């Protein structure tokens, strides 16, 4: 029997009705990309697994606060994983910053196809390719900020450049990345 795929939004709606199967479906759909991000940031399997577990528990407990008009489920989950992993990296305190839903990126929802893994792998290649095409200092600034959890001030210190230079590099890098991804039909953003 072929079971019809529920959309992310339908699954989150089911979470609010205490449907644990819905969380299993979301876990299977996003475990790889979420875990890969956490592992890329933390470089430690155990810590990345803790982040993954924590992120899905938060998704379960805070599903009612999700608003489809403000962003995607995937974007929300990735933001939770990123914040949690960076929190863990920046300090070992057990408390962590709660991510309110209004902190979620505001852009149009996209259809997540059922062949998520294949799609993600292809997109991953494109994103890595696009990052590699950025000038080295822009790429490095973005990676240090997003994947290594450094603040702009710390990046300026590490790279030995003024703070304004770091801001400019990050902005130019993201804008160029956006253009590269849009030209590759990845539709990085709607704004």
Residues 120-179 that bind another protein (CB under 8 A): 120-121, 123-124, 126-128, 131, 142, 145-153, 155, 164, 166-168, 170-171, 173-175, 177-178
| Chosen residue from 63, 73, 80, 88 binding another protein by CB under 8 A | 88
Site membership for another protein, residue 82 (CB under 8 A): yes
Beta carbon of residue 80, minimum distance to another protein (angstroms, whole number):
11
> Using CB under 8 A, which residues numbered 17 to 56 contact another protein?
18, 20, 23-24, 27-28, 31-37, 39-50, 52-53, 56
Biggest CA–CA distance in the chain, Å, is 61
Beta carbon of residue 100, minimum distance to another protein (angstroms, whole number):
11
Beta carbon of residue 141, minimum distance to another protein (angstroms, whole number):
9
77 φ/ψ angles, rounded to the nearest 5 degrees: -65, -45
User: Are the beta carbons of 149 and 89 closer than 8 angstroms?
Assistant: yes
Cα dist from 114 to 3, 35, 92, 97, whole Å: 11, 19, 37, 32
User: Are the beta carbons of 109 and 2 closer than 8 angstroms?
Assistant: no
Q: How many CB atoms lie within 10 A of CB 33?
A: 19
Judged by beta carbon, residue 11 or residue 33, the one nearer another protein is 33
């Amino acid at each position: 029997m072929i079971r019809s795929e529920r959309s992310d939004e339908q699954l989150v709606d089911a979470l609010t009705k205490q449907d644990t199967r819905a969380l299993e479906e979301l876990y299977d759909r996003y475990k790889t990309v979420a875990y890969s991000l956490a592992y890329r940031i933390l470089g430690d399997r155990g810590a990345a697994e803790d982040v993954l577990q924590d992120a899905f528990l938060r998704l379960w407990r805070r599903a009612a606060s999700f608003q489809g008009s403000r962003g995607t489920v995937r974007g929300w989950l990735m933001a939770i994983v990123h914040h949690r992993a960076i929190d863990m990296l920046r300090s070992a305190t057990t408390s962590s910053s709660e991510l309110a839903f209004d902190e979620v990126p505001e852009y149009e929802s996209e259809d997540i196809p059922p062949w998520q893994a294949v799609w993600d792998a292809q997109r991953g290649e494109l994103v890595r390719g696009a990052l590699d095409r950025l000038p080295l200092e822009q790429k490095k600034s973005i990676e240090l900020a997003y994947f290594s959890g450094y603040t702009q001030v710390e990046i300026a210190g590490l790279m030995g450049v003024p703070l304004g230079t770091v801001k400019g590099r990050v902005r130019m890098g993201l804008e160029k990345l956006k253009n590269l991804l849009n030209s590759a039909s990845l539709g990085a953003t709607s704004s």
